[in-house]
């Protein structure tokens, strides 16, 4: 029987829409709780962007400006992007590679769980953690950094960054399918840290060397941070549409890679 029918047939269980919705909700709820209680996850993914923001945005440079924008406002966009990227990459890749490599995913696959619920839960959980990080930055910025802007802009910034979780979740799924339980975290760090630097998430983009700025043009976090900066009035380069197009294309490529991994797993599971 082909892979396609294996996947399709699983969608054919006759369940009420209400029952299906309950499964998706619970899968997401427990994925969220699982990560929330995982100190490795919360300590690195949640606290790094927040600590960086407090240090570089509130303690050290709060009276300065970058490109006409006050530092506390500017850094919400860039550390927001950094936080979203970390939450999404670790949230999907680490769990997926471990579940695949250590047998847990097989237990789930042997059950009547709709396979898509598993992936949806990871993506939704990444978006929720992304929102938590961004809202924490907003709160700190407003309370301690004097960040002021119309409520609609806060909402747009939040929406942009949370939507920006999707390309990185897709990337995380691809990484999760091609790494093992032990190699996933270092692989993510190897992608995530250099990308953050080159995309201007730590050092503002215009202060980066020209070579690095050239590289940044092909990096998804650069495009997401430019979209976020655009909301607060500091976007510098291409049009909004061009940034979204790059992010959508990147998402599609990552999903394609993840799908190859998914099919490979369906066809030959080991031992």
Binding site for other proteins (CB under 8 A): 1, 6, 9-13, 15, 19, 22-23, 26-27, 30, 33-35, 37-38, 98, 101-104, 106-107, 109-113, 181, 267-271
Compute the least distance from the CB of residue 179 to other proteins, in Å: 15
Compute the least distance from the CB of residue 127 to other proteins, in Å: 20
Nearest to other proteins of 106, 239 (CB atom): 106
Compute the least distance from the CB of residue 1 to other proteins, in Å: 6
Compute the least distance from the CB of residue 271 to other proteins, in Å: 4
Nearest to other proteins of 33, 218 (CB atom): 33
SS3 readout for the chain:
CCHHHHHHHHCCCCCCHHHHHHHHHHHHHHHHHHHHCCHHHHHHHHHHHHHHHHHHHHHHCCCCEECCEEHHHHHHHHHHHHHHHHHHHHHHHHHHHHHHHCCHHHHHHHCCCCHHHHHHHHHHHHHHHHHHHHHHHHHHHHHHCCCCCCHHHHHHHHHHHHHCHHHHHHHHHHHHHCCCCCCHHHHHHHHHHHHHHHCCCCCCHHHCCHHHHHHHCCCHHHHHHHHHHHHCCCCCCCCHHHHHHHHHHHHHHHHHHHHHHHHHHHHCCCC
Nearest to other proteins of 11, 51 (CB atom): 11
Nearest to other proteins of 238, 265 (CB atom): 265
């Amino acid at each position: 029987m082909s892979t396609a029918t294996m996947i399709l047939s699983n969608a054919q269980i006759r369940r009420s829409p209400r029952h299906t919705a309950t499964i998706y909700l619970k899968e997401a709820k427990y994925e969220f709780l699982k990560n929330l209680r995982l100190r490795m996850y919360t300590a690195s993914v949640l606290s790094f962007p927040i600590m960086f923001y407090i240090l570089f945005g509130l303690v050290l440079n709060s009276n300065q400006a970058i490109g006409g924008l006050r530092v506390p406002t500017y850094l919400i966009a860039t550390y927001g992007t950094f936080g979203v990227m970390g939450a999404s990459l670790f949230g999907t890749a680490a769990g997926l590679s471990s579940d695949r490599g250590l047998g847990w995913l097989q237990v789930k696959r042997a059950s009547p769980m709709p396979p898509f619920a598993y992936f949806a839960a990871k993506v939704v959980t990444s978006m929720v953690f992304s929102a938590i990080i961004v809202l924490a930055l907003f709160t700190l910025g407003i309370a301690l950094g004097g960040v002021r802007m119309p409520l609609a802009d806060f909402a747009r910034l939040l929406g942009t960054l949370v939507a920006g979780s999707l390309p990185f979740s897709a990337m995380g799924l691809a990484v999760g399918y091609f790494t093992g339980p032990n190699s996933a975290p270092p692989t993510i760090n190897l992608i995530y840290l250099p990308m953050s630097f080159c995309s201007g998430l730590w050092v503002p983009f215009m202060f980066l060397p020209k070579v690095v700025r050239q590289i940044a043009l092909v990096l998804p976090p650069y495009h997401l941070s430019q979209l976020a900066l655009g909301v607060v009035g500091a976007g510098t380069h291409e049009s909004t549409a061009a940034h979204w197009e790059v992010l959508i294309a990147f998402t599609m490529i990552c999903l394609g890679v993840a799908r190859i991994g998914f099919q490979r797993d369906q066809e030959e599971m080991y031992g």
